[in-house]
Structures are given as structure tokens and as C-alpha cells.
């Protein structure tokens, strides 16, 4: 055999597997799993009777957890070494998905919008499904709003729910104290939330990354705690109830109306059905979300949008080019907050009742997860991630207590296979069109 053919054989052979580090790694992972499982799985409280609690131990379960993690980790590493020599985090699985989605953006959008419009009228549709669709769309809108701040301007905001709360409470208070209807209050909700965005923006102008995240997290909590404690204005933990429902150009969706007011079903000569309002709410949020999307897509191609992205890439270079980082950041915070506020206004009218309970940190985390999972800056990714994050726990109901487990596994899966998000693809805002853009 010549040297050349020997080399060729070398190249085609599978890379060797190094067992020792694999074993060490798997044992370490198993140890961590056992440590975690010991209090979480290994100890179980039960009622001994008379209100006292006893502790039951399940060390066999802990052992199983350890063994499962060991086997899983070991198998994963072996497969990785054998078939995929690339280091972790650089995986490009399903990259075709992102490229395909970017290329087919227009038809995909059309199909998606058409499906969303027809959803309430499809044969398998139900009140439950339309309600779920409404929830998904609220999160899509919030995701798109947060995408402006996080995805475009690169400002990590962990307190986005604050603007959602501000929008909701603005409407609730305007309705309770001044008798505003949903449509009258909607612009105010957006404006007030945008002002809060600017108020938050000022103190954090110099912060970036982790530091910014901590401050915004604090801001989110401040808003929630103020709402909780300022009982004379916000009703505290009791919240605000009897928030008016939206009307269809002045026609209310109620069974009967006071003298002189025509209801929706009377006007159109329909049998009264509570589903009319559900479907109407669905269309309202669909329209609001689509406006959000159109606005974001357009503003991205404007100087402001490009400045947001440039600021994310390099703030110093922006200054050297005469861009004022202050106004650019504040505008990103304001626009993002405005959409949060509009979504909050809708949330209030949909629920008819709001309390600080609805605006906890977990909401911020969910919205951020939607943006990150979808792929920072990707509008389509946000939709996919919102559908995934909202519907998965719902469909998981059949699995009872394993529901969150499935949810967690799905998140881990996405992060393993698509570490930069489902659709991590940035389309240029303009092209000279001489050569196709690389990557």
C-alpha cells in the first residue's frame, strides 16, 4: 500500500473514539444528576394523619435518574465524537429550515396569515381552539415587540412584562375612573407604556448585557410591587374587575342591551352566541399583531432600524459616525414598550379582570424565551416559538404531571439542535443585488 492510498484510507475511516474522557464526563453528569435528584426526587413528604408530615425516601428513583443521565450523556458523546467532530454550539442541524424559511418568506407569510384568518371557521375549530389562538397571538405580539429591543437593538430586557402591565392598568384605570372604552383607551395604553419605556431607558443608557438585564428585571418587579401595594389606585391584590369588553364599531357583544343600544347579534340578525365575542377578540389581536409585524419590518429598513442594529453591533463605531446612542436606545425602548402596552390593553379587555398576579417575572421570561428560541431578530421565528411555548403545555395536559417535563425536554432539544434559535437568519435590509448575500 502506498502512502497516498494509506492517507485515503485514513480519511474515510471513522474518527476514533476516546473512551476515557467520555466516561469521566458521563460520570460527572450522573453525579450532578444524583445530587439534584436527591432532594427533588429522593425525598417525598406525605400526610401521616393529623396534619403532620412524614418523609418517605425513594433512593431507588435517585439511582435510576443517575443511571439514565449516565447512559444518555455517554451515548450522546459517543455519537457526537463518531459522527460530528464539530465542537458544541456550532451545530447547524436543520439549517436548511432557516434558509428555506428566509427564501420563502412571502409565501410562508401569506399561508400563515390565511390560516390565522380562517382558523375560527375551520370545521375542527372550537371555542377552546380560538381562545388558545388568541393567547398565542398575544405572545406573538409581545414577542415581536420585545424583538425590537432584544433582537434588533441588542438590549437584553428581562422586565418586558412591566410595559404589558402598564398598558393593561392604563386601560383598566381609564375605564374604571373615566369610562373609556377599549378603542378609546388603546392609543393611551401604547403612549403611557412608551413613556415608561423612556423612563426605564434613561437610567440604563450606559449599561449593556448582563447589567442591563439585572436592572430591567428590577424594573419589572418594581412595577408589579407598586401595582400590588398602591391599593387605593390599583386595588392591590384584588386587581380591577369589570373592565369593559371591546365593541364592534359601537355594537356590544352582549345577550341584551340597555334601552337604545343595539347589540351585535341584533344588528346582524343572528342568534346570540358567546362565541361571537371570542372570535371577535381573536380577530382584534390578529390585526394588532399584524400591524406590529408590518411596522417592525418597515422600521428595520429605515435609518432608525439600521441604527438599532448598528448599535447592537458596535456602539463606539456608531458614535464615531455621528449617531446619538441615547436617542437610538430610547427609541428602541419606547417602540418596544409601546407594543407591550398595546398588547396589555388587549389582555385587560379580554380577561375583563386584571391583577398584579398576571404580570410576574415568569411572563417576562416566557416572552424572552420566545424571542431567543425563535432566533433573535427573526419575525417568523417568534411566531413558531410562541406557538411552541404556548401550545405545548396545553397539549401536554393529557400527560398530566409530565407536562412540564415534556416542555423542558423540547426546550433542551431546540437549544441542542438550533442553539441560535429556530430561525437564526438575518435578511439584509437592502441589497445592491450584484451577488447573492453569503450565509
Partner 1 sequence: MTAVREPVPLLAVENLTMRFGGLVAVDDVSFTAYRDEITAIIGPNGAGKTTVFNCLTGFYRPSAGKLVMHKGGELLRLERIEGFRIARRAGIARTFQNIRLFAGMTVLENLMVAQHAPLMKASAISLAGLLALPRYRRAERAAIERGRHWLERTGLTEQADWLAAALPYGAQRRLEIARALCTGPTLLCLDEPAAGLNPRESHELNDLLRSVREEHGLSILLIEHDMGVVMGISDHIVVLDYGRKISDGSPEFVRNDQAVIAAYLGVDEEAVEEVEAEVQL
Chain residues in the site for partner 1 (CB under 8 A): 295, 298-299, 302-304, 306-307, 309-310, 312-314, 316-325, 426, 428-439
- In the structure grid, which three cell numbers stand for residue 347, read together? 389582555
64, containing H or E segment: helix 59-83
* Smallest separation, CB 95 to partner 1 (Å): 16
Beta strands 43-49 and 52-57 are antiparallel
Q: Looking at beta carbons only, is 138 or 153 nearer to partner 1?
A: 153
What the block records as the C-alpha cell of 343 is: 398588547
Q: How far apart are alpha carbons 389 and 391 in whole angstroms?
A: 6
**CA quadruple 193, 144, 159, 347: dihedral positive or negative?**
positive
Residue among 324, 363, 292, 287 nearest 148 (CA):
292
Question: From the CB of 124, what's the least distance to partner 1, in Å?
Answer: 39
Residue (24 or 301) nearer to partner 1, CB: 301
201 vs 18, 59, 87, 149, 307, CA distance in Å? 51, 51, 38, 11, 16
CB-nearer residue toward partner 1: 132 or 334: 334
> Where would I find the beta strands (DSSP E) of 141-262?
none
For residues 188 and 361, is the Cβ–Cβ distance under 8 A?
Answer: no
**Nearer Cβ to partner 1 (52/432):** 432
Nearest distance, CB of residue 423 and partner 1, angstroms: 15
Give min distance, CB of 314 to partner 1, in A: 5
> Distance (Å, rounded) from C-alpha 286 to C-alpha 39?
45
As measured in angstroms, the least distance from the Cβ of 312 to partner 1 is 8
At closest approach, how far in Å is the CB of 101 from partner 1?
Answer: 18
Shortest Å distance, C-beta 150 to partner 1: 14
Q: Which is nearer to partner 1, 86 or 439 (CB)?
A: 439
Q: How far is it, in rounded angstroms, from Cα 227 to Cα 195?
A: 17
Nearer residue to partner 1 within complex by CB, 65 or 376? 376
Q: At what angle do helices 182-201 and 161-178 cross, to 10 degrees?
A: 140
Smaller CB distance to partner 1: residue 88 or 320?
320
What's the angle, vertex CA 408, arms to CA 54 and CA 96, rounded to 5? Answer: 170
Amino acid at each position: 500500500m502506498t502512502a497516498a492510498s494509506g492517507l485515503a484510507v485514513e480519511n474515510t475511516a471513522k474518527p476514533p473514539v476516546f473512551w476515557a474522557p467520555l466516561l469521566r464526563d458521563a460520570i460527572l453528569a450522573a453525579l450532578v444528576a444524583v445530587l439534584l435528584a436527591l432532594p427533588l426526587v429522593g425525598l417525598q413528604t406525605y400526610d401521616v394523619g393529623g396534619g403532620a408530615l412524614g418523609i418517605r425516601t425513594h433512593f431507588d428513583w435517585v439511582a435510576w435518574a443517575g443511571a439514565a443521565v449516565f447512559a444518555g450523556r455517554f451515548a450522546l458523546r459517543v455519537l457526537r465524537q463518531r459522527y460530528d467532530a464539530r465542537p458544541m454550539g456550532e451545530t447547524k442541524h436543520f439549517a436548511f429550515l432557516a434558509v428555506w424559511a428566509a427564501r420563502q418568506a412571502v409565501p410562508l407569510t401569506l399561508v400563515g396569515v390565511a390560516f390565522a384568518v380562517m382558523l375560527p371557521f375551520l370545521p375542527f375549530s372550537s371555542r377552546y381552539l380560538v381562545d388558545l389562538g388568541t393567547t398565542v397571538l398575544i405572545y406573538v405580539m409581545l414577542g415581536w415587540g420585545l424583538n425590537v429591543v432584544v433582537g434588533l437593538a441588542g438590549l437584553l430586557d428581562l422586565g418586558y412584562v412591566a410595559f404589558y402591565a402598564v398598558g393593561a392598568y392604563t386601560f383598566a384605570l381609564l375605564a374604571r375612573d373615566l369610562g373609556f372604552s377599549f378603542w378609546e383607551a388603546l392609543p393611551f395604553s401604547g403612549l403611557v407604556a412608551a413613556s415608561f419605556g423612556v423612563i426605564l431607558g434613561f437610567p440604563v443608557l450606559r449599561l449593556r448585557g448582563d447589567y442591563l438585564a439585572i436592572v430591567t428585571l428590577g424594573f419589572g418587579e418594581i412595577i408589579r410591587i407598586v401595582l400590588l401595594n398602591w391599593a387605593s389606585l390599583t386595588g392591590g391584590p384584588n386587581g380591577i374587575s369589570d373592565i369593559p369588553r371591546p365593541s364592534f364599531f359601537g355594537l356590544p357583544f352582549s345577550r341584551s342591551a340597555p334601552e337604545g343600544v343595539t347589540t351585535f347579534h341584533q344588528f346582524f340578525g343572528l342568534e346570540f352566541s358567546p362565541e361571537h365575542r371570542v372570535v371577535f377578540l381573536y380577530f382584534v389581536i390578529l390585526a394588532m399583531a399584524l400591524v406590529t409585524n408590518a411596522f417592525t419590518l418597515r422600521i428595520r429598513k429605515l435609518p432608525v432600524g439600521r441604527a438599532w442594529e448598528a448599535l447592537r453591533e458596535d456602539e463606539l463605531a456608531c458614535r464615531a459616525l455621528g449617531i446619538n446612542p441615547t436617542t437610538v436606545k430610547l427609541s428602541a425602548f419606547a417602540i418596544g414598550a409601546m407594543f407591550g402596552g398595546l398588547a396589555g390593553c388587549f389582555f385587560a379587555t379580554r380577561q375583563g379582570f386584571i391583577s398584579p398576579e398576571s404580570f410576574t417575572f415568569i411572563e417576562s421570561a416566557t416572552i424572552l424565551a420566545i424571542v431567543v428560541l425563535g432566533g433573535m431578530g427573526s419575525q417568523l421565528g417568534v411566531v413558531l416559538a410562541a406557538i411552541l411555548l404556548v401550545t405545548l403545555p396545553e397539549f401536554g395536559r393529557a400527560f398530566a404531571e409530565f407536562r412540564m417535563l415534556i416542555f423542558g425536554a423540547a426546550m433542551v432539544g431546540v437549544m441542542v439542535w438550533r442553539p441560535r434559535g429556530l430561525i437564526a437568519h438575518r435578511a439584509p435590509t437592502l441589497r445592491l443585488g450584484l451577488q447573492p448575500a453569503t450565509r
